[in-house]
Amino acid sequence: MEPIRVVWGAASAATAMSSYDAALAEAGVENYNLTRVSSVIPAGATVEIAETAPDLGPAGERLTVVQGRRTVAPGAAERACAGLGWSVEESGRGIFYEASGTDAETVRATVEEGLAAGRELRDWAFTDGDVQVVSAPADPEAYTTAVVLAAYGDSDPIL
């Protein structure tokens, strides 16, 4: 089974969508059609911190992800912050929790609170986990986006 890779990026560009695309490029997943899932990690999986994704398959294919994302407008006073955390048990089974906002510490706290609530809902023996937060200052003349994603394995054909 391919690992679930945690990747991230932040970038600025002329439009909100182009800044998102540029942030995805920083994370190495700009050439895929992202399919978001609700954050459950299957048994047998491993979670790896990769920062930037390796080649996960041909351009245009579907890539399953859990994603935290925040975009701020040009000249905004706040930062673009996105976070993703995970808790797993020995079998690999676990949960992700994502959040976004304009303050990195608040995003981290929200992720940690969400993970705690998710662990409380399940009768699982969680043994490990981590949190990754990415933060970028607003660009005075461009939109800024921060993303953090968990990419599930390799891409799949969409057609």
Closest CA to 133 of 155, 149, 115: 149
- CATH number for the region 4-152 comes to 3.50.20.10
Mean pLDDT of 115-134: 97
Which residues, 6 or more positions from 81, have their beta carbon under 8 angstroms from its beta carbon?
70, 100, 101, 102, 103, 104, 106, 107, 133, 134, 135, 136, 146
Whether residue 63 is predicted with pLDDT greater than 90 in this model: the reply is: yes
The tens digit of pLDDT for each residue in 82-116 reads 999 999 999 999 999 999 999 999 999 999 999 99
Mean pLDDT of the chain: 97
pLDDT-derived band at 131 (thresholds 50, 70, 90) equals: very high
Q: What pLDDT, on a 0 to 100 scale, did the predictor assign at position 114?
A: 98
Whether residue 70 is predicted with pLDDT greater than 90 in this model: the reply is: yes
Q: What is the DSSP string of 27-61?
A: HT-TTSEEEE--SEEPTT--EEEEES----SSTT-
Closest CA to 112 of 133, 92, 91: 133
- Give me the residues paired with residue 86 across strands: 96, 130
**Helix boundaries (H) for the chain:** 16-27, 104-121
Whether residue 1 is predicted with pLDDT greater than 90 in this model: the reply is: no
Q: Return the residue matching tokens 């690999």.
A: 92
Mean pLDDT of 68-92: 97
Mean pLDDT of 138-147: 98
Mean pLDDT of 37-47: 95
Whether residue 120 is predicted with pLDDT greater than 90 in this model: the reply is: yes
